[in-house]
Amino acid sequence: MGIDDLLSDEDRAVRDTLRSWAADRVLPHIAEWYERGELPGIRELARELGSIGALGMSLKGYGCAGAGAVQYGLACLELEAADSGVRSLVSVQGSLAMYAIHRFGSEEQKQQWLPRMASGEVIGCFGLTEPDHGSDPAAMRTYAKRDGSDWVLTGRKMWITNGSVAGVAVVWARTEDEGIRGFVVPADRPGFSAPEVRHKWSLRASVTSELVLDEVRLPADAVLPEVSGLRGPLSCLSHARYGIVWGAMGAARTCFETALDYAGSREQFGKPIGGFQLTQAKLADMAVELHKGILLAHHLGVRMDAGTLRPEQVSFGKLNNVREAIEICRTARTVLGANGISLEYPVMRHATNLESVLTYEGTVEMHQLILGKALTGLDAFRG
């Protein structure tokens, strides 16, 4: 589709750097990590990602690369072409934890955390979801109470990427008088713990944790001063969802390429299965959705750089691209027959990862309802 022609030399350089990093550091090990349900050496990986400018890539200053939105998107695509877990590490670090501090933090908070997060020395996490409140974070129970000039945080967050390895958590909590506020919580604070969630059958090469906040005492300046209300976390989500619009197409690309390659070499009935019309129809449909998805992601990136990207347009991209990516992966699995379920090939791993991607950062239904509201003017959530 000539997508390369849409990219600048700088875009291509970012893409190539991330692609070769992932080929070198992730692809040789990912099947084993996945099988073990671990992301070993995550701190080392974070530092390497920091050294190539991938953490907080599109943020400006404080040691961040200050890249354009398309470059950040291409980085997400290349990382997720290796595994959604690695893209998640980068999304949560850059688009959620760092973005929250960069956009809504005080100068002191930015100076204290962002350079070390950009280098990968400190890993961050973002606690919004709770055990009983996922799609509806406005109903969260975690609360922050004033005690003199201090804040005291109590509650639980659930399904938090990077939680157990984080040095700092951005935690959203309700307050008595000021609505929902964001807090920058160093992980070594008494009362803070982050037990890891086990027994996942998706995103296995990713750290997912609960956050337990048992009367965590924080100084007055731990609150993010520049925002109150759900607009704070939702703004961060818009940024992270944008990265997923690209990332999902990375998983889809790997599955498409695997299926195309397999169809050319696997023979049945005396000829390559790629020579059968039904297989060609599958490959053609996969290619159409893959390239449409990348073109859509690029369009949204151009709008983001121009400052004209609206949240419902991000929902459009997340809804379409994750849904189509999972379809591409499932179709690729059928092309591989029994080999499609083996970890020797990447398609089942990507397909099961995308089950999480379909749910996190807003489920399919949330994005349908966000679009429904934009189209009709009627709010299905609370109307």
Residues 188-217 that bind ligand FAD (CB under 6 A): 203, 208
Contact range with ligand TGC by CB under 6 A, out of 8-16, 229-237, 322-330, 344-352: 229-237
Residue environment code for 195-227, b if the CB has 16+ CB neighbours within 10 A, otherwise e:
eeeeeeebbbbbbbbbbbbeebebeeebbbeeb
Among 161, 209, 258, 331, binds ligand TGC (CB under 6 A): 161
Between 250 and 274, CB nearer to ligand TGC: 250
Given phi > 0 = left and psi -120 to 50 = alpha, else beta, which region is 168? beta
Residue 351 binds to ligand FAD (criterion: CB under 6 A) = no
77 C-beta neighbours (distance < 10 Å), count: 26
Contact range with ligand FAD by CB under 6 A, out of 111-119, 285-293, 332-340, 353-361: 353-361
Q: Among 262, 367, 252, which residue's Cα sits nearest to residue 319?
A: 367
Instruction: Tell me the C-alpha distance between 129 and 137, whole Å.
Output: 6
Task: Determine the 3-state secondary structure of 144 from DSSP.
Answer: strand
**365 contact, one of ligand FAD, ligand TGC, none, CB 5-8 Å limit per kind:** ligand FAD
Per-residue binder mask for ligand FAD (CB under 6 A), 104-133, x = binder = ----------------------xxxx----
Q: Known catalytic residue: 361?
A: yes
Among 92, 207, 248, 329, binds ligand FAD (CB under 6 A): 92
Residues 152-181 that bind ligand FAD (CB under 6 A): 159-161
**Beta carbon of residue 129, minimum distance to ligand TGC (angstroms, whole number):** 5
Distances (CA, A) of 288 to 83, 183, 284, 321, 324: 22, 44, 6, 12, 10
| Biggest CA pair distance of the chain | 80
Are the C-beta atoms of residues 162 and 130 closer than 8 Å to each other? no
CA angle 212, 214, 220 (to 5 degrees): 110
Instruction: Tell me the C-alpha distance between 240 and 314, whole Å.
Output: 10
**127 contact, one of ligand TGC, ligand FAD, none, CB 5-8 Å limit per kind:** ligand FAD
**Which spans of this chain sit near ligand TGC (rule: CB under 6 A)?**
88, 91-92, 126, 128-129, 135, 137-138, 161, 229-231, 234-235, 237-238, 240, 311, 360-362, 366, 370, 381-382
Q: Would you tell me which residues interact with ligand FAD (CB under 6 A)?
A: 92, 126-129, 134-135, 159-161, 203, 208, 356, 359-360, 363, 365-366, 381
